[in-house]
Amino acid sequence: MSQTTNQARISAEAYATPIFDHLVSTDQALYVPFLRHAHPDAEQSPTVNLARNEEQQPHAISHPITGIICLLVVADAPYWIPIDRIAHSEACEKCASLWNYLRERVQELAPGECFYAAATTHSPLGETKILVDSADLDG
User: Mean pLDDT throughout 80-100?
Assistant: 93
Q: What pLDDT does residue 63 have?
A: 86
| Contact status, residue 84 vs residue 73, Cβ threshold 8 Å | no
Q: What pLDDT does residue 48 have?
A: 93
Q: Predicted confidence band at 22 (pLDDT cuts at 50, 70, 90)?
A: confident
Beta bridge partners of 123: 126
The domain segmentation of the chain, as residue ranges, is: 3-137
| Contact status, residue 32 vs residue 49, Cβ threshold 8 Å | no
Q: Predicted confidence band at 43 (pLDDT cuts at 50, 70, 90)?
A: low
Single pTM value for the model: 0.81
